[in-house]
A and B are shown apart, each in its own frame.
Chain A
Amino acid sequence: MGTIRNEIRRLRFEHGEMTQQQLAEKIRVTRQTVNAIEQGKYSPSLEAAFRIAAVFGEPLESVFHYSNEE
């Protein structure tokens, strides 16, 4: 099974040190969900992933990376 990594932490930092709470409010999830996504513990739905990418103004593949390696 592959893994999904993401650049959310870096992107938050580059966007005025946006907090997890601020991002959570923009994509309409809880702060705990943003934290779980950031740590790779939870894979968001496609819709949430697109919302996150839209917040940072980046294409989806710049925010999330899929890897087949264990």
Chain B
Amino acid sequence: MSFREKGAWISLLSMAGIYGVYFWSVIKAGPQAGGFHFGKLLGTIIVLVIVQVVLNVAVAIYAPSEAKAPPDERDKLIELRAMRVAYAGLATGIAFACFFGAFNPPIIFNTNSLLFILVTAEIMRCACQIIQYRRGA
């Protein structure tokens, strides 16, 4: 498994796990919880950054030459394809959010649904990268 594929796995699993906990807590609190869960979100982001930095450093220590090497042409192509898929997901999600936003849902729904769309698009990007690396290109 290449260094960049490992990076995609780290991003995918850490985001799915950590944001999963965040969104689960938001759903459990319900729309009556009031306000945007800023403290909870800040904590989530800090944990995510720490987990990703630690895991990426660990992978880089294990394969330092791969970590130092710039992405090659195949890595760049895979990244571009994954970005295209993620953009389609992001645009679709935003269109849905705009539609449902017209029904005046609580602000907590709007902010968290936009965050959910962003996280989903990022997870799609990582998943698409992993699929392409697994297939060979």
| Tally of A interface residues using CB under 8 Å | 15
Contacts of A32 in B (CB 8 A): 2, 5, 74, 133
- Confirm or deny: A3 has a beta carbon within 8 angstroms of a beta carbon on chain B: no
User: CA separation between A30 and B135, bound complex, in Å?
Assistant: 16
| Given the contacts A41-B137, A42-B136, A42-B137, A36 and B74 also touching, CB distance less than 8 Å | yes
Stretch from B28-36, B41-49, B65-73, B110-118 forming part of the interface with A: B65-73
User: CA separation between A13 and B65, bound complex, in Å?
Assistant: 25
Contacts of B137 in A (CB 8 A): 36, 41-43
> What interface size band does chain B fall in?
10 to 19
- Confirm or deny: B75 has a beta carbon within 8 angstroms of a beta carbon on chain A: yes
Contacts of B69 in A (CB 8 A): 30
- Confirm or deny: A20 has a beta carbon within 8 angstroms of a beta carbon on chain B: no
| Given the contacts A30-B2, A30-B66, A32-B2, A45 and B73 also touching, CB distance less than 8 Å | yes
Contacts of B75 in A (CB 8 A): 30, 33
List chain A positions with a Cβ less than 8 A from chain B: 28-33, 35-36, 39, 41-45, 48
List chain B positions with a Cβ less than 8 A from chain A: 2-3, 5, 66, 69, 72-75, 133, 135-137
